[in-house]
Amino acid sequence: MIRKLLIANRGEIAVRIIRACAELDIRSVAIYSEADRFALHVKKADEAYCIGAEELAGYLNPHRIVNLAAATGCDAVHPGYGFLSENPELARACAVRGLVFVGPNADTIRLLGDKTQARAAMVAAGVPVTPGSEGNVERLEAALEEAARIGYPVMLKATSGGGGRGIRRCDSAHELAQNYRRVVSEATQAFGRAEVFLEKCIERPRHIEVQVLGDHFGNVVHLYERDCSIQRRNQKLIEIAPSPQLRPEQREFIGQLAVRAAKAADYRNAGTVEFLLTGTGEFYFMEVNTRIQVEHTITEEITGIDIVKEQIHIANHQPLSFRQEDVRYHGYAMQLRINAEDPKNNFLPSYGRLTRYYAPGGPGVRIDTAIYTGYEIPPHYDSLCAKLIVSGRTWEETIARGRRVLGDIAISGVRTTLPFYREILDHPEFRRGVFDTGFLQDHPELLNYSLKRGRSEAALAIAAAIAAHVGL
């Protein structure tokens, strides 16, 4: 049984995992860089160790991490998301050192982390995939040939891509020729691998993904779906569970399809099967994320299942404690990713000292964050600064709650996406629950908010009073 666990991550997800450990009576160990000396995960963990002064090298070094885990008497490592979470080397290094890796094994991570191999495995299992090239396209000539067969527009994608990077739409052979080198070099730079492949570009799709859990005894269940169609540049901004856009029979269908996909990969631990839903109602497999996801929170809210604790139970070789028919969901939950970015300046990251932070509460509100008043957001990491999660019994109540909470939160010192979310939640189409991945592109006027209107004066006043009190 896991008694002491090292968290190979930082920020809100490290804090989230520390909380699960505390509830399971597991001792938590944090790692940090020099830039993270004053980070919340360092303060909250039972023990914390500097993994190297450099901003990134320590968080990205599997060998340093397993050595530290072994030296500090840990029996397990949780990778979180990002960093090494989808790198088979960390899972392998753990196995070699006799440490439990909280996630699927290295072979599963390697197979599913390769989008063309994953597509092939799904085709073999009878799961429909987005039409596309058979395997990678090794040269521009092959890409042009395949694209002619698939039909334009096509998506040129990095085979080992993630985080919305290394994806480009090409509307013609000319554009494909222009983009080919660019995506190959982007892929090489960002993921250390040059392979690319093609998919048919689905017009106006919905991004629907299913949370799955598999144990070491052949049990696989799904925890229903999330709708992550509100995106900017292929990156999720708002996530909703369940999707307000699915009929009950579609929900049933996609859940079973995700379980079939997970079983085909002998999937063990928590994972997410991502699909695109076309305007005409087809679901196409896109990829599997072999880790905890940023938006796991909303599934927890609607099902009452603590997914991080389930990950640890599974890693402990305990069978799932519930069957598919025991999984119920109620109401809706919505997550807003509050990024330290300036929407009015092309979402430029905005780093610095948080002079004021006031967190709302009340029914149906959850905030997962690692910020605090006075915290200095370092420029070296991603710009997610808080996840604001609201839930309600109905879609209407969830929206109303979201609008109420947005008027009851204050973050100052850096620019954030908060005022932008106020505009989205006021938008009639969004409120009707009808949107696809093109929503933000279709509505550039959402960026025309006035900063004054975007502020909550009452929340700011409270935050200012607190800041004055603590002498900031």
Q: Provide the binding-site residues for Mg ion, judged by CB under 5 A.
A: 274
Q: How far is the CB of 397 from Mg ion (least distance, A)?
A: 29
Q: Which residue's Cβ lies closest to Mg ion?
A: 274
- What distance in Å separates the CA atoms of residue 456 and residue 469, rounded to the nearest whole number? 20
Peptide bond into 104 cis (omega under 30): no
Q: How far is the CB of 471 from Mg ion (least distance, A)?
A: 44
Q: How far is the CB of 355 from Mg ion (least distance, A)?
A: 35
Q: How far is the CB of 350 from ligand ADP (least distance, A)?
A: 16
Q: Residue 423: name its binding partner from Mg ion, ligand ADP, none (Cβ under 5 to 8 Å by kind).
A: none
Q: How far is the CB of 414 from ligand ADP (least distance, A)?
A: 17
Q: How far is the CB of 164 from ligand ADP (least distance, A)?
A: 4
DSSP H/E element including 109: helix 106-113
7 vs 467 by CB, closer to ligand ADP: 7
Secondary structure class of 200 (helix, strand, coil): strand
Q: Work out whether strand 154-158 and strand 47-50 pair parallel, antiparallel, or are unpaired.
A: unpaired
Q: Residue 158: name its binding partner from Mg ion, ligand ADP, none (Cβ under 5 to 8 Å by kind).
A: none
Q: How far is the CB of 366 from Mg ion (least distance, A)?
A: 23
Exposed/middle/buried for residue 190 (C-beta within 10 Å: 0-12, 13-18, 19+):
middle
* Max Cα–Cα distance, the chain, nearest Å: 67
- What distance in Å separates the CA atoms of residue 369 and residue 361, rounded to the nearest whole number? 14
Q: How far is the CB of 188 from ligand ADP (least distance, A)?
A: 13
Q: Residue 130: name its binding partner from Mg ion, ligand ADP, none (Cβ under 5 to 8 Å by kind).
A: ligand ADP
33 vs 243 by CB, closer to Mg ion: 243
Q: Residue 202: name its binding partner from Mg ion, ligand ADP, none (Cβ under 5 to 8 Å by kind).
A: ligand ADP
**Contact indicator for 183, 235 with CB cutoff of 8 Å:** no
**Of 370, 381, 354, 390, nearest to 240 (Cα)?**
390
Q: Residue 81: name its binding partner from ligand ADP, Mg ion, none (Cβ under 5 to 8 Å by kind).
A: ligand ADP
10 as an active site residue: the answer is no
- What distance in Å separates the CA atoms of residue 347 and residue 417, rounded to the nearest whole number? 8
Task: Find residue 275's DSSP bridge partners.
Answer: 208, 285
Q: Residue 167: name its binding partner from Mg ion, ligand ADP, none (Cβ under 5 to 8 Å by kind).
A: ligand ADP
Q: Work out whether strand 76-78 and strand 100-101 pair parallel, antiparallel, or are unpaired.
A: parallel
Rounded (10°) CA dihedral 86, 87, 90, 93: 130
Secondary structure class of 223 (helix, strand, coil): strand
Secondary structure class of 455 (helix, strand, coil): coil
> Of the listed 119, 291, 337, 422, which one is catalytic?
291
Q: How far is the CB of 131 from ligand ADP (least distance, A)?
A: 9
**Of 32, 28, 66, 27, nearest to 49 (Cα)?**
32
Residues that bind ligand ADP in the complex, under the rule CB under 6 A: 81-82, 86, 130, 155, 161-164, 167, 191, 199-202, 205, 207, 231, 234-236, 274, 276, 286-287, 289, 293-295, 382, 437
Peptide bond into 62 cis (omega under 30): no
- What distance in Å separates the CA atoms of residue 253 and residue 284, rounded to the nearest whole number? 12
Cα 95 to its chain centre, rounded Å, is: 25
36 vs 199 by CB, closer to Mg ion: 199
Q: Which residue's Cβ lies closest to ligand ADP?
A: 162
Q: Residue 283: name its binding partner from Mg ion, ligand ADP, none (Cβ under 5 to 8 Å by kind).
A: none
105 vs 130 by CB, closer to ligand ADP: 130
Rounded (10°) CA dihedral 371, 373, 378, 383: 50
Q: Residue 161: name its binding partner from ligand ADP, Mg ion, none (Cβ under 5 to 8 Å by kind).
A: ligand ADP
231 vs 456 by CB, closer to ligand ADP: 231
* Cα dihedral 184, 185, 186, 190 sign: positive
191 vs 420 by CB, closer to ligand ADP: 191
225 vs 274 by CB, closer to Mg ion: 274
151 vs 438 by CB, closer to Mg ion: 438
Task: Report the amino acid identity of residue 251.
Answer: R
- What distance in Å separates the CA atoms of residue 169 and residue 150, rounded to the nearest whole number? 13
Q: Residue 207: name its binding partner from Mg ion, ligand ADP, none (Cβ under 5 to 8 Å by kind).
A: ligand ADP
Neighbours of 280 (CB within 10 A): 5
243 vs 293 by CB, closer to ligand ADP: 293
Cα angle value 379/383/389 (rounded, 5°): 150
- What distance in Å separates the CA atoms of residue 459 and residue 469, rounded to the nearest whole number? 15
Catalytic residue positions, numbered? 291
